[in-house]
Amino acid sequence: MNTPKTTSKDPRLGPGSLWSALPIPACRALTYAGQIKASQVLFALALHSSGVSTVVFPSRATIKKYSGVGKNSISEALQVLKKFGFIKISYVKVGRTHRNEYEILRACFHWDEFNEIASRYKIPKGHCTRCNHWIYRDGWNVQKGKDGIATIQVRIHRNCGGIVQDLNRKQMLNIRDQEEWAGMVIPFH
Ligand SMILES: [Zn+2]
């Protein structure tokens, strides 16, 4: 197959440069989901994809080297990536041996193509008043609490036990902005 080389208008990326596309939506959603190791493994896979092919086949040792994720955690991280719909894994015969091949899927690069699992982590749903982190779906437990004489439901952050509040409009807009400008690196906290 004759695949054209990816070109870029970025002046830093002319002839002689070596670069790959970093899947920003996928890496962000994985970070929101607390799946840092999966994010690091996806990063290591992306480092082996130079824009010519979406299929890469680094060995376990190479993934470990570039991701910093220990060998025992790589399988789990790969399963997370599969579950989120970010990669497809094939076991391919090459000569007398086999190797794993990883296809980096389109959804990695497009918020609106996320599957149902990945979609849960697009936007934070609350804010912890104790540890000051954004909280995502499934990140809290619901408990009964008192507001004066009324019984209300209180959301408790699973990690720290702090009370989770809804994001206010300004926080929501701020997050939406950051997602739309996902090319920019802006810290969340
Ligand atoms: Zn907290």
Tell me, in angstroms, the distance from the centre of ligand 1 to residue 28's CA.
19
Tell me, in angstroms, the distance from the centre of ligand 1 to residue 104's CA.
33
- Beta strands 140-147 and 87-94 are unpaired
Of the chain, the percentage scoring pLDDT greater than 90 comes to 48
Tell me, in angstroms, the distance from the centre of ligand 1 to residue 85's CA.
28
For 109-163, write each residue's pLDDT tens digit: 998 899 988 987 887 778 899 998 888 767 889 988 888 888 888 999 998 999 9
- Domain architecture of the chain: domains with CATH: 24-118+174-179 (1.10.10.10), 125-166 (no CATH)
Tell me, in angstroms, the distance from the centre of ligand 1 to residue 34's CA.
13
Tell me, in angstroms, the distance from the centre of ligand 1 to residue 38's CA.
22
What is the distance between the alpha carbons of residues 165 and 77, in angstroms, rounded to a whole number? 30
Round the CA-based radius of gyration of the chain to a whole number and report it.
Answer: 20
For 56-85, write each residue's pLDDT tens digit: 999 999 999 999 999 999 999 999 999 999
Tell me, in angstroms, the distance from the centre of ligand 1 to residue 139's CA.
9
What is the distance between the alpha carbons of residues 50 and 20, in angstroms, rounded to a whole number? 5
What is the distance between the alpha carbons of residues 123 and 171, in angstroms, rounded to a whole number? 11
Contact 24, 182 (CB under 8 A): yes
pLDDT for 184 equals: 43
For 104-121, write each residue's pLDDT tens digit: 999 999 988 999 889 878
Contact 140, 164 (CB under 8 A): yes
Least confident of 2-16, 89-103, 151-165: 2-16
- Beta strands 150-157 and 140-147 are antiparallel
